[in-house]
Amino acid sequence: MKILVTGAAGFIGMHTSERLLARGDEVVGLDNLNDYYDPGLKESRLARLRLHPAFRFVKLDVADRPGVERLFAAEKFERVIHLAAQAGVRYSIQNPHAYVDSNLVGFVNILEGCRHHQVQHLVYASSSSVYGGNTKMPFSEHDSVDHPVSLYAATKKANELMAHTYSHLYALPTTGLRFFTVYGPWGRPDMALFLFTKAILEGRPIDVFNHGKMKRDFTYVDDIVEGVIRTVDHVAAPDPAFSSDQPDPGRSHAPFRVFNIGNHHPVELMAFIEAIESALGIKATKNFLPMQDGDVPATYADTRELNAWTGFAPATSVGDGVGRFVAWYRAYYGG
């Protein structure tokens, strides 16, 4: 198939593009290569993708409405994987307008492109952050997600609502994937694994928030990509059992679905740090701090819905995944 991957120079975008190319799809990768984090890392990811003859890169911001319109009109994509977004919970407190431009304006531009050019299926990145202040574990797609605790989370919930509108009005099949703390080689420098590894190797203390009393459903990137590919191939469809009297947030009378995609096995932050220490062979000096604004103490994905829909099941332990990241980090940066 001919597939558009937005955010192709990003962490999940690069890995997803590689898997699509390996199975024979044609991939057009879009990215604006902004400086939210090191553009050099993004260029290095792109260099890997450019080795494939079936890959083409387009430098474009999804918030550029005329540019996105021209791209869809020219390329006639069969399916779209929309991963481009302004990421980061904490940064959304400092720079809210970046999230409106990329995550709201950009997303409606993608929806319009899909609507007007007969895209067969739009798969887009949502986030575990939509669960906000929820404390019932594990997080389920059947739960209400109306209490976000960061603007980033609010924009991701808005994406799900916007997608449903287009599924309802225009019969556009859309599937949102709520990612749970993705990690692995080529990961983002603003994520905990990268920050911890860098600091430990440089002999600096690591900042451990909420005094280490955090749990995360850490999900290895290869498992995430497997779920994304399976979801692209299983086009969203209306649920004949959907009831407007008792509406289920994760499905609809329209061709719309929302799924959790995670490891279904939350890990305590201190155990995650121990896995990094083990992979590095170095003990970390820890600087224990209070919880940060916009953060949550725990995430835990109920993945039964995605398993039933696509057969997805995570397969990578935290020990193995962290070890692979550390090996990549040392090869890429030295140390």
Active-site residue set: 152
Is-cis flag, bond preceding 138, omega within 30? yes
Residue (of 159, 161, 123, 168) closest to 261 by Cα position: 123
Residue 60: both structure tokens together: 């474009």
Indicate the length of the chain as a whole number. Answer: 335
Contacts of residues 130-139 at CB distance under 8 Å and 24 or more positions apart, as own/partner, are: 130/156, 130/157, 130/160, 130/178, 131/296, 131/299, 132/296, 133/296, 137/266, 137/298, 137/300, 138/264, 138/300, 138/301, 138/302, 139/178, 139/260, 139/299, 139/300, 139/301, 139/302
Task: Say if CB 36 and CB 86 are below 8 A apart.
Answer: yes
- Token pair 């980090």 is found at 329
CB-based burial of residue 258 (10 Å sphere; 0-12 exposed, 13-18 middle, 19+ buried)? Answer: buried
CB 187, CB 15: distance < 8 Å: no
- 271 contact partners, CB below 8 Å, separation of at least 6: 318
- The sign of the dihedral angle between the CA atoms of 205, 207, 210, 213 is negative
